[in-house]
Every structure is written in structure tokens, then in C-alpha cells.
């Protein structure tokens, strides 16, 4: 039985890694093409649209997917359909909230309360928010089979659906951008991807067929577990995405567009850790906590060992080669993304270490530690960024964003130690791999500079 589950974990992990690598290659290729078709300011405006949409979503997150994966009732029809009903209602409410925010933003712009040089002063921003916000309604109808296949570590079809949606959406984006050179290409592509994901989840994933349903016991459990997920997601959004919200009021659309490119490139290592952790490790941690709780620490240690070997050296190499990468891939308009990417990778390295820690605690039904650590990071960002920008300028502000990842470490280490899950050796091992990668990357950079 255990060997069968290990094979399932390996298979699921393989799908996640292959799917993620292909997804990032598609995204990177599309980004390289689009930066030659669209102006940098368009990426800055769209970054704010996506961040505001994500903010509304995360600040109303009930943890429905995590509940299905973590709960012992996660395979029951009544529980599943109650969760889906809440998801549909939430999707419509999200769009209404986004429309309200867009109306307020439009009114503030029309009344002259917002500087037109800031991203928030862009005339198309409210209309883009309303349009892209429709994706919340579409995603609200996603089949709960998405969470069921995650729970059972059956990720092959889901990966294919996600990649198909990404490729088709990119096709629409490139055609519209090439023909009209408009920011609306990015908005339309977002809707296309959401629709294909939703349709594919119902047509091609095995699971319970969803219908509107309300079970009081299921509602009680969903809200009990979801209250901490709600707080964690809301504060986590501010901690992890709030930098762009703040920068939207400090930088021009062009500079924010360049920052968004640096953010996207620097985020590549942590996204693979996040994908593996959420889609493979969290379901596995939840199963072990339900069936063999004494094995949870050893499972976390093994998982972090392999993640560190895969990701930390690569992150270290990237930190020392960022300017070469940006100069090679982009034109001179994006040159500042090189030094930005190097500084942002500091936060990424911390995230690679901490994501599995947060999820093992969530598997034990302890999401409050993630909430506390995210709150500290959010407070740090909102106090530090405006002060540093006004006193020292853009470069030191980006460095502050990079260092913000270190704020979470003491809380997560304390939580792991308290619940007897902490391994100091594996944490130090991760840091050593990062340093080794940086040294190797520095040596390679010197060789490239001489050739």
C-alpha cells in the first residue's frame, strides 16, 4: 500500500514539474514576444489589474479547495456540492466588488484625486478591471474535480487542461497584440484561459458532478476551517503581492512594467516549489497527518531535502547572473530589470524554504502561523517601502522588498519547533546550497564577461 502511494506521489510530482516547466517556457516565450509588440507601460497597467483582481479573490478566500483536500469528508457528495455552491456565489460577488472598486477608481480619476503619472491614473485601468474581473465569475463555476484530483494526486489531465488553456490564450493575445498593439489583448487572453480551464474541469476530470446544494454540517465545517484560511489569504496577499499595489502609487506605468518583468523572471524558482508543495506535498502531508501523524516530521524533512537540491542552487546561480539574462533576452528598455531581479531573488530564496513549512502546519489544522507571519511581513512592507523610496530611491526600495522575505522566518521556525517538526540541519543545508549556487554563478558570469 505504501509503495503504491509513493509511486502515486512520484507520478504526481513528475506531472507538476513537467507541467510547470512547460508552462513557464510558454509564459517566458510569450513574454519575450509581447515585449516586442507592446509598450512597457502596458505590462505595468496590467500588473495592477491582475494584482487587484488577485487581492479581491484572496481577501474573500474561504479555503474551499484546501477544505476538500484536508477534510475527512472531502469525498462526500453533500460536502463537495456545498463547497461548489459557495464557490459559485463567491465568483459573482467578487465581480461585483471589482466593479465597485473600478467605479471608485474612475470617480477618483475624474475628480483629479489621482496623479495621472501614476499607474492608478491610467484612463483604461477601471475598464480593464471590470473586463478581467469577469474571469472570477467564470472560475466560480470550475468543477470541484480540480480539488478531488489534487486530493488523490491524479494530476495528469489537470496539467494538460492548464497547458491547453495557456497555449490557446497566448495565441489570442499574440494575434490581437500583433494586429492592434493594444493592452486589451492581455485582458481578452485572461478571459479565454479562464473559460478553457472551467470547461475542461467539467468535461475531462473524473469526480462528482456538481450541482447547487446546501448542507448545514458541511457549511459549518467549511466556515470553521475557512476562517483562518480567509485571514491567512487576505494578509498573505498583502505580504506577497502588496509590493505592486504600493509601487502603483509610487512609480510610473513604464517603471512598474519593467519591475513586473523582473518580478516574473525572479519568481520562476519559487513557483515550482509552490506548485509541488500545494499540489503534491500538501495532499500527502494531510494524508499522513490523518493516518500516520508521527511520520509527519520525517516526511517534511525528506520533502525539503529534495526541494532544496532541485531549487536552491539554481536560485543562487540566477542571483549572480541576472543582468546577463536580461541583457540577452530583452532590449535596452528593460535593462533595469536585471538589478531588480537580483534583489527580488532574496525574497524568492526565503519563500522556497518556507512554503513547505506553512503547508505542513496547515495539514495539521494550524493555518494561524501563516497568518501571523504574513501579517508581520505586510506591516513591514507598508511601513518600509514608502519611507525607503522617499529617502533613498527605487533601488533601495527594491532591495527592501527582497529582504522582506526574511521577516517570516522566525515565526515559521518557532511554529515548527513548538510542534516538533523543526530540523535545523535541513534549513542550514538549504542556505548552503543557495550560497554554493551563487558562487558558481559568479564564476560563470566572469567567464561570460571575458568571452
Question: Does residue 234 surpass a pLDDT of 80?
Answer: no
What's the 3-state SS for the chain? Answer: CHHHHHHHHHHHHHHHHHHHHHHHHHHHHHHHHHCCCCCHHHHHHHHHHHHHHHHHHHCCCCCHHHHHHHCCCCCCHHHHHHHHHHHHHHHHHHHHHHHHHHHHHHHHHHCCCCCCCEHHHCCCHHHHHHHHHHHHHHHHCCCCHHHHHHHCCCCHHHHHHHHHHHHHHHHHHHHHHHHHCCCHHHHHHHHHHHHHHHHHHHHCCCCCCCCCCCCHHHHHHHHHHHHHHHHHHHHHHHHHHHHHHHHCCCCEHHHHHHHHHHHHHHCHHHHHHHHHHHHHHHHHHHHHHHHCHHHHHHHHHHHHHHHHHHHHHHHHHHHHHHHHHHHHHCCHHHCCHHHHHHHHHHHHHHHHHHHHHHHHHHHCCCCHHHHHHHHHHHHHHHHHHHHHHHHHCHHHHHHHHHHHHHHHHHHHHHHHHHCCCCCHHHHHHHHHHHHHHHHHHHHHHHHHHHC
**Lowest model confidence (mean pLDDT) among 93-107, 161-175, 201-215, 225-239:** 225-239
pLDDT confidence of 56, banded at 50, 70, 90? confident
Q: Which pLDDT score is estimated for 5?
A: 56
Q: Which pLDDT score is estimated for 99?
A: 95
Q: Which pLDDT score is estimated for 221?
A: 75
**Lowest model confidence (mean pLDDT) among 32-46, 163-177, 234-248:** 234-248
pLDDT confidence of 106, banded at 50, 70, 90? very high
pLDDT one-digit tens code per residue, 336-394: 988 899 888 888 888 878 888 888 887 887 777 877 888 888 888 888 888 999 898 88
Chain-wide mean pLDDT for the chain? 84
C-beta of residue 270 within 8 angstroms of C-beta of residue 348: yes
Measured between its terminal Cα atoms, the distance across the chain in Å is: 55
pLDDT confidence of 187, banded at 50, 70, 90? very high
Q: Is 220 exposed, middle or buried (0-12, 13-18, 19+ CB in 10 A)?
A: exposed
Question: Does residue 242 surpass a pLDDT of 70?
Answer: yes
pTM of model > 0.85: no
> Percent of the chain, pLDDT > 70?
90
Q: Which pLDDT score is estimated for 125?
A: 92
Residue of 143 and 270 predicted with greater confidence: 143
**Lowest model confidence (mean pLDDT) among 10-19, 74-83, 192-201:** 10-19
C-beta of residue 271 within 8 angstroms of C-beta of residue 352: no
| Mean pLDDT of the 440-451 span | 73
Range among 36-40, 268-272, 293-297, 336-340 with highest mean pLDDT value: 336-340
Q: Which pLDDT score is estimated for 1?
A: 47
**CA 413/CA 372 separation, integer angstroms:** 13
pLDDT one-digit tens code per residue, 308-321: 888 889 888 888 88
pLDDT one-digit tens code per residue, 400-441: 988 888 888 888 888 889 888 888 888 899 889 989 998 988
Q: Which pLDDT score is estimated for 451?
A: 56
Question: Does residue 102 surpass a pLDDT of 80?
Answer: yes
**Lowest model confidence (mean pLDDT) among 60-64, 160-164, 350-354:** 60-64
Amino acid at each position: 500500500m505504501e509503495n503504491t502511494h509513493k509511486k502515486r506521489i512520484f507520478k504526481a510530482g513528475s506531472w507538476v514539474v513537467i507541467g510547470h516547466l512547460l508552462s513557464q517556457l510558454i509564459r517566458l516565450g510569450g513574454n519575450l514576444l509581447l515585449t516586442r509588440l507592446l509598450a512597457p507601460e502596458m505590462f505595468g497597467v496590467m500588473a495592477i489589474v491582475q494584482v487587484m483582481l488577485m487581492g479581491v479573490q484572496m481577501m474573500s478566500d474561504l479555503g474551499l479547495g484546501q477544505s476538500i483536500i484536508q477534510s475527512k469528508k472531502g469525498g462526500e457528495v453533500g460536502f463537495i456540492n456545498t463547497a461548489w455552491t459557495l464557490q459559485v456565489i463567491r465568483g459573482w460577488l467578487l465581480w461585483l466588488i471589482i466593479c465597485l472598486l473600478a467605479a471608485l477608481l474612475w470617480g477618483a480619476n475624474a475628480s483629479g484625486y489621482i496623479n495621472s503619472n501614476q499607474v492608478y491614473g491610467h484612463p483604461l485601468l477601471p475598464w480593464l478591471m471590470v473586463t478581467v474581473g469577469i474571469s472570477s465569475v467564470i472560475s466560480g463555476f470550475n468543477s470541484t474535480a480540480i480539488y478531488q484530483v489534487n486530493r488523490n494526486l491524479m494530476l495528469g489531465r489537470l496539467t494538460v487542461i492548464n497547458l491547453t488553456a495557456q497555449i490557446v490564450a497566448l495565441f489570442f493575445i499574440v494575434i490581437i497584440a500583433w494586429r492592434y498593439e493594444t493592452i486589451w489583448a492581455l485582458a481578452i487572453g485572461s478571459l479565454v484561459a479562464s473559460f478553457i480551464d472551467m470547461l475542461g474541469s467539467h468535461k475531462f476530470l473524473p469526480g462528482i458532478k456538481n450541482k447547487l446544494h446546501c448542507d448545514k454540517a458541511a457549511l459549518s465545517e467549511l466556515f470553521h476551517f475557512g476562517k483562518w484560511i480567509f485571514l491567512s489569504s487576505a494578509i498573505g496577499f498583502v505580504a506577497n503581492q502588496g509590493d505592486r499595489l504600493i509601487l502603483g502609487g509610487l512609480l510610473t506605468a513604464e517603471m512598474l512594467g519593467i519591475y513586473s518583468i523582473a518580478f516574473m523572471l525572479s519568481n520562476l524558482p519559487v513557483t515550482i516549489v509552490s506548485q509541488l508543495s500545494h499540489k503534491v506535498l500538501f495532499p500527502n502531508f494531510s494524508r499522513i497527518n490523518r493516518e500516520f501523524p508521527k511520520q509527519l516530521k520525517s516526511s517534511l524533512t525528506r520533502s525539503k531535502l529534495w526541494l532544496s537540491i532541485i531549487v536552491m542552487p539554481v536560485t543562487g546561480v540566477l542571483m549572480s547572473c541576472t543582468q546577463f539574462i536580461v541583457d540577452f533576452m530583452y532590449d535596452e528598455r528593460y535593462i533595469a530589470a536585471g538589478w531588480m531581479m537580483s534583489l527580488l531573488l532574496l525574497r524568492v530564496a526565503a519563500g522556497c524554504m518556507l512554503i513547505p513549512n506553512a503547508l505542513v502546519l496547515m495539514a495539521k489544522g494550524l493555518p494561524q502561523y501563516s497568518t501571523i507571519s504574513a501579517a508581520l511581513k505586510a506591516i513591514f512592507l507598508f511601513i518600509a517601502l514608502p519611507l525607503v523610496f522617499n529617502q533613498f530611491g527605487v533601488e533601495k526600495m527594491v532591495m527592501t522588498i527582497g529582504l522582506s522575505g526574511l521577516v517570516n522566518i522566525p515565526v515559521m521556525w518557532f511554529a515548527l519547533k513548538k510542534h516538533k517538526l523543526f530540523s535545523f540541519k535541513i534549513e542550514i543545508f538549504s542556505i548552503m546550497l543557495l550560497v554554493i549556487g551563487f558562487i558558481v554563478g559568479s564564476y560563470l558570469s566572469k567567464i561570460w564577461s571575458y568571452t
